[in-house]
Amino acid sequence: MSEPRSIHTTLSQLEQQSSSFKALWQDFMALIKIGIINSNLITAFAGYWLALYFNNQSFSWSIFFLVMLGTAFLIAGGCVLNNWYDRDIDHAMSRTKKRPTITGSIPLNVILSLGVLFTVIGLGLLYLTTPLAAVFGFIGWFVYVVLYTVWSKRRYTINTVIGSFSGAAPPLIGWAAVDQALHPAAFVLFLVMFIWQTPHFLSLAIRKKEEYKQAGVPMLPVVYGNKITKRQILIYTVCLLPLPFYFFSLGTVFLIFATLLNLGWLAVAVYGFKMKDDDRWAKWMFIYSLNYLTFFFVALVVATLPLT
């Protein structure tokens, strides 16, 4: 009679352990901000791939893995340190209040150690490609952790622009791993990412305006309202229009596709001045920005694939 009970107890313990591990893994993914890592890996790969194309070099699996892993670890390190520092305000926002820095599921000293460790590993891996790739990686990390998280986020509405410099670093990292001379196209990729981020994050700021206000973060819509924020979003989307033409060598199909992508985003931005539901419009802008990022950089890679 005791054996079935023993088996049942063992199964129950295994289920509890499995559930605990799953919860811990989810907390870890939230801690490193896996969504941010994935989107930045797309742009880092695009930089690496286009550097091969413009320099007529062959694909190297070793450099590829070093760039991807190094970028991933470095971004993870920055995101972990961002979470560690923002633990006193994240409880005020619905999208951040369940982070392990708030729930306590992972000790704060462990979180801080992980942030430093991931940063060091990431810089080391990037340095194995080229020193310049590590330099760009460090600049992006420094801007995000120090200039954005610690210095500007809680003080100035321009915090979004400052943070955009870090988000624009991955294409330069990928490119510098192949070509330290840096073709002008590398800086166009940087500009695309730099300009893209302001409409992306300001649309999120409109949706989460009350939460940012409660947390004491002076985002543009919190301080100056939605109307001025919409103007800024429109200006940045207009600035994206000429950038695809710097890649004229990739062909007409790419130029048409990228231009239509830009015009579509511009149309949504303009419609925001007519639409009464700001929250719904901001959601459209945010979703479009995510798709824009994916489609634009995937199109860059596809346009350079060999036809044979």
pLDDT over 90 percentage in the chain: 80
What pLDDT, on the 0 to 100 scale, is given for residue 98? 80
Distance CA 295, CA 71 (A): 21
Q: Which helix (H) or strand (E) segment is 7 a member of? A: helix 2-32
**Mapping DSSP to helix (H, G, I), strand (E, B) and coil, where does residue 162 land?**
helix
Distance CA 100, CA 86 (A): 12
Q: Which helix (H) or strand (E) segment is 295 a member of? A: helix 278-303
Please state, as a whole number, how many other Cβ atoms lie within 10 Å of the Cβ of residue 1.
4
Chain centroid to Cα 95, Å, comes to 16
**Mapping DSSP to helix (H, G, I), strand (E, B) and coil, where does residue 118 land?**
helix
The residue among 288, 195, 291, 191 whose CA lies nearest residue 247 is 191
What pLDDT, on the 0 to 100 scale, is given for residue 23? 82
Token match 């891996």: residue?
125
Cβ–Cβ under 8 Å, residues 50 and 105: no
Distance CA 182, CA 179 (A): 6
pLDDT, tens digit, for every residue of 53-100? 999 999 999 999 999 999 999 999 999 999 999 898 888 777 777 888
Q: Please, what is the average pLDDT of the chain?
A: 91
**pTM for the full model?**
0.90
What pLDDT, on the 0 to 100 scale, is given for residue 11? 56
Q: Where are the beta strands (DSSP E) in the chain?
A: none
Please state, as a whole number, how many other Cβ atoms lie within 10 Å of the Cβ of residue 225.
13
Q: What's the distance, Cα to Cα, between the start and end of the chain in Å? A: 70
The residue among 113, 31, 36, 38 whose CA lies nearest residue 68 is 38
Interacting residues of 71 by C-beta distance below 8 A, sequence separation 6+ = 40, 41, 44, 122, 126, 137, 170, 173, 174
Residue 15 predicted with pLDDT over 70: no
Cβ–Cβ under 8 Å, residues 99 and 31: yes
Residue 196 predicted with pLDDT over 70: yes
Q: Which helix (H) or strand (E) segment is 12 a member of? A: helix 2-32
Complete domains list, the chain, with CATH: 34-303 (1.10.357.140)
pLDDT band of 18, cuts 50, 70, 90: low
Tokens standing for 108? 């704060």
The stretch 243-254 carries a mean pLDDT of 94
- Most distant CA atoms of the chain, gap in Å: 78
